Amino acid sequence: MSFLSRVLPALALMASAWAASPPAPFGAVPAGRQVEWQRMEYYAFVHFGLNTWTDREWGYGDEDPKLFNPSSFDARVIVRQFKEAGMTGVVLTAKHHDGFCLWPTKTTDRNISKSAWQGGKGDLVRDFAQACKAEGMKFGVYVSPWDRSQPEYGREGYVKVFHEQIREVLGNYGPVFEIWFDGANGGDGWYGGAKETRKIPPNYYDFPKIVEMVRRLQPQCVVWGGGESGDARWGGSEQGHVGYPHWATLDSKRGGSGAIGFAHGDRWVPAEGDTSIRHGWFWHQREDSQVKSPDKLLQVWFDCVGRGANLILNVPPNRTGQLSAPDIASLNGFRELREIMLSKDFARGAKAAASFRGSDAKFAPGNLTDGNIDSYWTVDDGNNAPSVEIRFAAPATFDVIRLREQIRLGQRVEGFALDAWQGDDWKEIHKGSTIGNQVLARLSSSCTTDRLRLRITASPAVPCISELAVFRAPVMMVAPSITRDAAGKLSISVQGAGTIRYTTDGSDPSAASTEYREPVVFPSGGTVKARIVAGDKLGPIATRALGMVKTGWKVVSATAGDARNAMDENPKTLWQTHPTSGELPPPQGFVIDLGAEVRIAGFSYLPRQDGIAHGMTDRYRFEVSRDGQTWSLAAEGEFSNIKANPIEQIVPLQAPVSARYFRFTGLHAVEKNHVTAAEVGVIAAP
Ligand code: FUL
């Protein structure tokens, strides 16, 4: 035996005396597929299908498959655009509520092989899957459980069809990173011609069985939704943001909300915030001018990814099968803002000083600033409120601090504070609660210092922190906000230097457009566009479609409730048809005298904005009259998806009609058994 072979084991033995073991996991921990998924942070949603042609948000289930016919679709181009925007994957609506399948399924004739596109030989699931593979992006699918086309929906027969559809998309197209099981179910539908409302029994879809199949076919696939069996949850609104404090856990007994989760719950079910770059999920031409601006997207990102959730951003292709130019411009502007901010981490490589677990270098505070989110800093058991000091080589000016916990060991931290060394003392610059997957702490004002301290103030077990990074938020031009009061005065406001320029003819404001100085009277309504102009720089455009002003309006009658609340331009006051107690079931409505004859091009319904869905109506009737006696039907239909996405609904009439009176009727309520409205408006023909 050589000298070395005798000495080395002895040395190894000595070294192991210093090697500390990692802290035991705390509470619920993520599965490997969830860790991988949480690192994806930001990816695309693609709503594409018959609705793109019928101009609807929810198809009824009877639309002709032939309608689907994009003129110049190329999945590769779209996937590349998402990749260039900094996204990590794409989730395609392989089947939406109308039951039309974007792949040649064997389960139903309502599929792409019956469309006019590519002579029925096309397969969009295949195209997206292949494009993602080629571009190094991940591919996911949305397969709607609610199917308004299927005759057997609500009965056993459909469940088999649904399971088989999932098997086809998961079994035939390569790796799928996420499958989306939408909980939406508006009840009514075509259902093979039955045209009725169908309620489903609890556990109807049999998610435990579905999840078993997902695990078998795609072990790395994250199940979004899917009741108790799912891996990821809805972030709680269709605006993309999630709540704070923010937990990746829910609790099997005590529940928890989508937005916040449940502190130290027993199931790891991280949130995904979903929103569309436009108002609706499918492409509608009228929304081409209502694309979220880069600053708005950055705000959503801070309130979603910056709280530890994933952001799925919908960018719907238009009828050519391509993304629209304003959407691409906004995606790229948003990417630039993130890049400006994230490209310089002032703490990268900075020295960090703190006690650490077993004095083992594996757990040293340098792990916070090494750019590797697998390594982490932790301390000896029992020390649940440690602090660490970061020293920058030179003073840095910053206003955003990113922290991450090592989530493989569970989400622990409940409270933290950040201090900056100012002059000769520490000054607290931020207080936060949860960290989890990540938190982007925004300071109320920027801070310049060469010493930063992180104090963990509350944690039920030793904290395991894998990153502390320090950034400067980008200086950006933001889109103005446009409001109008009950008297019809238009106000435009914005933070930032430059002049506000605006138009009311639908054109994009330029340096030559009217300058906004003070509120202006704007009674007839129309489309207002505004932006900041500073030298040769043009800020993002804000667009607002306003109906005619309601000053001369009178309530003629109402089946119940105070209809003046629906015409006072105050979304906080409600027309509601139930008195103090009990319910007054729909239909419920009111008649308005506009004061003079108007050429009506459409109407708007703003559902209540207080976060409560009671009495929100998802089916309407809009009638008009010249004399208040003889009525004609101007529009009747559905406000699809209004419960999850309670934005203003604008309904253009087939053709403008002249009338002095209108009657609005809510025909059905999404919750409870009465009808409410925050505002109802009229769009006058130009
Ligand atoms: C909702 C659906 O009803 C919408 O149409 C959309 O697909 C959205 C992502 O989820 O629940």
Does residue 281's CB lie within 6 angstroms of at least one atom of ligand 1? yes
What is the H or E stretch that residue 669 is in? Answer: strand 649-669
Residue 152 alpha carbon to ligand 1 centre in Å: 22
Q: What does the pLDDT average to over 540-544?
A: 91
Report the amino acid identity of residue 85.
A
For residues 161 and 107, the answer to whether their CB atoms sit within 8 Å is: yes
| pLDDT, the chain, mean | 95
| pLDDT surpasses 90 at 236 | yes
| pLDDT surpasses 80 at 12 | no
Distance CA 264, CA 559 (A): 49
- Ligand 1 atom closest to the Cα of residue 184 is 11
pLDDT tens per residue across span 257-274: 999 999 999 999 999 999
pLDDT tens per residue across span 582-631: 688 999 999 999 999 999 999 999 999 999 999 999 999 999 999 999 99
Nearest residue (CA) to ligand 1, atom 1:
184
Distance CA 11, CA 35 (A): 36
Residue 595 alpha carbon to ligand 1 centre in Å: 39
Q: What is the pLDDT of residue 2?
A: 53
Q: What is the pLDDT of residue 487?
A: 87
Distance CA 279, CA 285 (A): 11
For 397, list phi and psi in degrees, rounded to 5.
-110, 125
Does residue 182's CB lie within 6 angstroms of at least one atom of ligand 1? yes
pLDDT tens per residue across span 26-53: 999 999 999 999 999 999 999 999 999 9
Residue 281 alpha carbon to ligand 1 centre in Å: 7
Q: What does the pLDDT average to over 182-210?
A: 94
| Structure tokens belonging to residue 493 | 């406001």
Residue 416 alpha carbon to ligand 1 centre in Å: 36
Nearest residue (CA) to ligand 1, atom 4:
641
CATH 2.60.40 fits domain 481-546: yes
Residue 456: partners with Cβ closer than 8 Å, 6 or more residues away: 384, 385, 386, 387, 413, 415, 416, 463, 465
pTM tops 0.75:
yes
Does residue 363's CB lie within 6 angstroms of at least one atom of ligand 1? no
**Residues forming beta bridges with residue 280, ordered by sequence position:** none
| pLDDT surpasses 80 at 6 | no
Other Cβ atoms closer than 10 A to 343: 8
Q: What is the pLDDT of residue 11?
A: 52
Does residue 638's CB lie within 6 angstroms of at least one atom of ligand 1? no
pLDDT tens per residue across span 368-424: 999 999 999 999 999 999 999 999 999 999 999 999 999 999 999 999 999 999 999
Residue indicated by tokens 């404090």: 245
Does residue 274's CB lie within 6 angstroms of at least one atom of ligand 1? yes
Residue 136 alpha carbon to ligand 1 centre in Å: 27
Residue 545: partners with Cβ closer than 8 Å, 6 or more residues away: 525, 526, 527, 528, 650, 683
> What's the pLDDT band for 495 if we cut at 50, 70, 90?
confident
- Ligand 1 atom closest to the Cα of residue 274 is 9
Q: What does the pLDDT average to over 14-29?
A: 82
- Ligand 1 atom closest to the Cα of residue 183 is 11
Q: What does the pLDDT average to over 229-237?
A: 95
Task: Using only the alpha carbons of the chain, give its radius of gyration.
Answer: 28
Residue 357 alpha carbon to ligand 1 centre in Å: 47
Q: What is the pLDDT of residue 18?
A: 65
Domains 351-471 and 554-684 in one fold: yes
pLDDT tens per residue across span 136-189: 999 999 999 999 999 999 999 999 999 999 999 999 999 999 999 998 888 899
> What's the pLDDT band for 656 if we cut at 50, 70, 90?
very high
For residues 394 and 407, the answer to whether their CB atoms sit within 8 Å is: no
| pLDDT surpasses 90 at 497 | no
Residue 641 alpha carbon to ligand 1 centre in Å: 7
Q: What is the pLDDT of residue 16?
A: 47
Domain ranges of the chain: 32-324, 351-471, 481-546, 554-684
pLDDT tens per residue across span 308-359: 999 999 999 999 999 999 999 999 999 999 999 999 999 999 999 999 999 9
Q: What does the pLDDT average to over 194-205?
A: 94
Residue 645 alpha carbon to ligand 1 centre in Å: 8
| Most informative mutation of 47, 93, 645, 647 for ligand 1 (most atoms within 8 A of CB) | 645
Does residue 272's CB lie within 6 angstroms of at least one atom of ligand 1? no
Distance CA 534, CA 540 (A): 12
Does residue 641's CB lie within 6 angstroms of at least one atom of ligand 1? yes
Q: What is the pLDDT of residue 342?
A: 97
Does residue 237's CB lie within 6 angstroms of at least one atom of ligand 1? no
Does residue 184's CB lie within 6 angstroms of at least one atom of ligand 1? yes
Residue indicated by tokens 């996991």: 25
> What's the pLDDT band for 486 if we cut at 50, 70, 90?
confident
Strands 481-484 and 514-515: unpaired
What is the H or E stretch that residue 79 is in? Answer: helix 75-84
Nearest to 278 by CA among 46, 7, 36: 46
Cα separations in angstroms, 389 against 179, 351, 359, 369, 405: 42, 8, 16, 11, 17
Report the amino acid identity of residue 327.
D
Note the CATH number of domain 32-324: 3.20.20.80
CATH class name, domain 554-684:
mainly beta
Q: What does the pLDDT average to over 650-654?
A: 94
Nearest residue (CA) to ligand 1, atom 10:
182
- Ligand 1 atom closest to the Cα of residue 96 is 7
Share of the chain above pLDDT 70, in %: 97
Domain 351-471, what fold? Answer: Jelly Rolls (2.60.120)
- Ligand 1 atom closest to the Cα of residue 57 is 5
Residue 182 alpha carbon to ligand 1 centre in Å: 7
- Ligand 1 atom closest to the Cα of residue 186 is 3
